[in-house]
Amino acid sequence: MENPAGADSTPVNTSTVSPDLTPDATATTSTPSEVAWPGWASIESEPAVFQALLRALGTSGCQVQELYSLDDEESLRALNPALGIVFLFRWKPEVDDEVEVSCPEGVWFANQVIDNACATIALLNIVFNSDAIISEELRNLKDFTAPLTPAMKGLAVANSARLRDQHNSFAREHEKLAVDLNFEEVAATKPKLAVRNVGDDDDGENHVYHFIAYVHVVDTLYELDGLRKAPVKIKTCPKEDWTVHAGARILERVARYPEGEIEFSAQAVVSGNTIEDENLEKIARSRQVDWEGFVHKACTLLAANGMARKILAPPKKKGGRR
């Protein structure tokens, strides 16, 4: 995981954004030694985590499910009335030739203006363009930011301590630590992404991942990418078929990558609630188990006892008879 360039790990002063988004209104009560971590950490692409995050942000009456096939039109239509689709992919620079000149009327779209926030940005870009049931606080945020530009909408989200804390509650502690440790190193070279460091590209660059959203608004399918200036209009289509066209669009994007690449994920936000909140919370929180401390301690003990060298030593070659 990394902190990309051009973003500050400390949220901007919110006093000029909205009375509902000031620190006093959104921050949790804490002692000086328990002040919430001020950055944004990347979170896992897992349906239970995303559904629990939606609940924590203030939505109800919807659930998240993994999409295993994007070319099965019958199963994609069966998702409707779907609220939106979240797509995770390995980010790489692209030409902005498809983007709208300005944000279309009736579409709520926020830019990602701070590192590691694209999961929450993608979810808000879905629920604020759907008939999802949202809390009064989210309703106030949506109404207040409606006339603002996408960049200012993104700033309002980034400066909400409550949204940030709910987002970070699904991150592992070592991911937060990595953000702090890597910020200075990558600040001058990386784009603004909610990303996860998982290896190196052929050119030596670290892999980074990004969440975007697909929604259907007023008979039109849009791709909402917080790193673009405005929504991308995919096509005009009836509401009952939009998920099919969204699946085709995602497959088109996947085809831009080398054959055999599998580092993608698609999840649909649909109406309904078949998983009880208590069970959902247990599933989501179980994904947060942080094994880093255990692994570090185990490696330390193995090294101290001389076992690590034996474990890592190459096997001895056995001689054979001629």
Residue 194 lies in a domain: yes
Residue 311 lies in a domain: no
Low-confidence ranges of the chain (pLDDT < 50): 1-34, 187-188, 190-204, 320-322
Residue 6 lies in a domain: no
- Full-model pTM: 0.73
Looking at residue 71, its pLDDT comes to 92
How many domains would you assign to the chain? 1
The CA distance from 243 to 77, in Å, is 6
The CA distance from 210 to 41, in Å, is 13
What's the CATH code of the domain at 171? 3.40.532.10
In the block, which residue shows the tokens 């673009």? 228
Residue 215 lies in a domain: yes
Active site residue 210: yes
The CA distance from 157 to 25, in Å, is 14
Contact criterion met (CB below 8 Å) for 47 and 68:
no
Q: Which of 62, 103, 167, 210 is catalytic?
A: 210
Looking at residue 19, its pLDDT comes to 40
Q: How far is CA 92 from the centre of its chain?
A: 16
Sheet with strand 232-236: strands edge to edge: 62-66, 265-271, 82-90, 209-217, 220-224, 232-236
Residue 12 lies in a domain: no
The CA distance from 241 to 78, in Å, is 10
Q: At what angle do helices 118-127 and 161-168 cross, to 10 degrees?
A: 110
Q: How far is CA 128 from the centre of its chain?
A: 16
Q: Which of 118, 167, 216, 245 is catalytic?
A: 118
The CA distance from 63 to 271, in Å, is 6
**Enclosing domain of residue 114:** 19-273
Residue 305 lies in a domain: no
Contact criterion met (CB below 8 Å) for 103 and 230:
yes
Residue 207 lies in a domain: yes
Residue 200 lies in a domain: yes
- Quick one: how many helices (H) and strands (E) in the chain? 12, 8
Looking at residue 261, its pLDDT comes to 83
Indicate the helix (H) or strand (E) that contains 88: strand 82-90
